């Protein structure tokens, strides 16, 4: 599903839509894993225009000294013209709310294959020690930045006909069946790509995890001196109200609270005495 988020203008008495400003295009999957076969690739068309923007794949398995022991790295890579935020050899795993734009704290734009997670296997071993024979049963485990973080966001940028766009890809390490998109079956566990989004206005930064909600319901003054914003919500989901003072600002600022929905409609009261500006509500993963 593709949803466009339109910001809203907050003033002392009303909220008006501003359709000419930036909008986030959000895609809720379907989720897919990375096959542990270096001959297979899972492509991602981030903007759903029919062309691959990023690829997810595994590298060849490498032995680690013992014929029965090996490691298999998994990677994310970009097609020519696109890039991914990296931290050295690894993909940078960004927290929700991190800014993705021309620069990013602790990460740099890279066109290299970047490691997401690595699968390691150890074979059956019999080791001779001074105390006799020690038997080690086969082992399997995952490691790497995505495994350590549990989940997070990949910062990406891609070229489109109207210029450079920034986006995010939501990845997680899943301790359970991982579906494969273009290959029959599933993996018992491993990295999984859940959803993704991008900013439709060229050269415009966005926040990791920023996703649209359905349009705001009509505002109302329920408490004197406050304007109430209301929107349909999913119980248990987190929502963030954001603000910019004018339409030329590149980055939205989070108000200092997050709303966890408890019903099908959520609301927040904003003081009418505050600065006029532009408000929007995003779903925060």
Residue with tokens 């359709």: 19
- pLDDT for 139: 52
The whole domain housing 238 covers 2-21+210-284
Give the residue from 92, 42, 80, 75 showing the smallest Cα distance to 159. 80
- Reading the block at residue 146, the tokens are 């995505």
> Pick the residue with more confidence: 143 or 248?
143
Residue whose structure tokens are 């929007």? 280
Looking at the fold, whether 194 and 256 belong to one and the same domain comes out as no
- Residues 184 and 74 reside in one and the same domain: yes
Residue 124 has what pLDDT? Answer: 43
Whether 88 and 168 map to the same domain: the answer is yes
- The domain boundary, picked from 151, 170, 203, lies at 203
For 21-70, the pLDDT digits (tens) are: 358 888 878 889 888 888 889 999 999 999 999 999 988 766 655 656 67
Max Cα–Cα distance, the chain, nearest Å = 83
169 lies in the same domain as 111 = yes
Residues 32, 170 share a domain: yes
Strand 190-199 relative to strand 277-284, pairing: unpaired
Tokens of 138: 């086969």
- Which of 148, 177, 203 finishes a domain? 203
Instruction: List CB contacts of 28: < 8 A, sequence separation 6 or more.
Output: 1, 195
Helix and strand element counts for the chain (H, E)? 1, 30
211/285 Cα distance (integer angstroms): 8
Q: How far is CA 38 from CA 75, 96, 150, 193, in A?
A: 10, 30, 24, 18
Is the pLDDT higher at 213 or at 252?
Answer: 252
Last residue of a domain, one of 203, 238, 269: 203
The string of pLDDT tens digits covering residues 72-123 is: 889 999 999 999 999 999 999 999 889 999 987 789 999 999 999 888 765 4
| Judgement on whether residues 16 and 82 belong to the same structural domain of the protein | no
Clarify whether residues 55 and 187 are in a common domain: yes
Query: Are 49 and 183 members of one domain?
Result: yes
User: 192 and 247: one domain?
Assistant: no
Structure confidence by residue, pLDDT tens digits, 140-170: 678 888 988 889 999 999 999 999 999 999 9
Q: Lowest mean pLDDT: which of 81-85, 92-96, 204-208, 247-251?
A: 247-251
183 and 137 share one domain: yes
User: Are residues 39 and 105 both part of a single domain?
Assistant: yes
Instruction: Specify the pTM.
Output: 0.67
pLDDT reported for residue 266:
92
Provide φ and ψ at 209, rounded to 5°. 90, -5
Same-domain check for residues 190 and 59: yes
CB 252 within 8 A of CB 242: yes
- As for how many domains the chain has, the answer is 2
φ/ψ of 148, rounded to 5, equals: -65, -40
Bridge partners (DSSP) listed for residue 235: none
Residues forming beta bridges with residue 225, ordered by sequence position: none
């Amino acid at each position: 599903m593709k949803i466009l988020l339109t910001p809203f203008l907050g003033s002392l008495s009303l909220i008006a839509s501003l359709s000419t400003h930036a909008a986030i295009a959000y895609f809720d999957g379907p989720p897919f894993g990375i096959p542990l076969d270096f001959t297979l690739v899972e492509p991602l068309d981030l903007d759903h225009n029919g062309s691959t923007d990023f690829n997810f794949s595994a590298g060849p398995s490498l032995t680690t000294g013992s014929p029965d022991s090996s490691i298999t790295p998994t990677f994310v890579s970009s097609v020519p013209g696109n890039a991914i935020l990296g931290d050295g050899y690894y993909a940078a795993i960004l927290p929700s709310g991190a800014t993705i734009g021309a620069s990013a704290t602790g990460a740099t734009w890279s066109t290299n294959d970047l490691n997401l997670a690595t699968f390691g296997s150890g074979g059956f071993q019999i080791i001779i020690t001074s105390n006799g024979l020690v038997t080690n049963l086969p082992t399997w485990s995952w490691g790497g930045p995505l495994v350590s973080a549990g989940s997070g966001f990949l910062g990406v940028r891609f070229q489109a006909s109207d210029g450079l766009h920034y986006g995010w890809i939501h990845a997680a390490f899943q301790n359970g069946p991982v579906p494969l998109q273009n290959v029959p079956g599933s993996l018992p566990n491993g990295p999984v790509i859940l959803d993704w989004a991008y900013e439709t206005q060229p050269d415009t930064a966005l926040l990791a995890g920023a996703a649209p909600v359905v349009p705001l319901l009509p505002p109302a003054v329920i408490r004197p001196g406050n304007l109430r914003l209301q929107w349909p919500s999913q119980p248990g989901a987190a929502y963030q109200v954001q603000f910019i003072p004018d339409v030329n600002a590149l980055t939205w600022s989070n108000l200092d609270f997050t709303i966890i929905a408890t019903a099908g409609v959520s609301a927040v009261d904003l003081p009418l005495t505050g600065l006029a500006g532009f408000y929007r509500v995003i779903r925060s993963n």
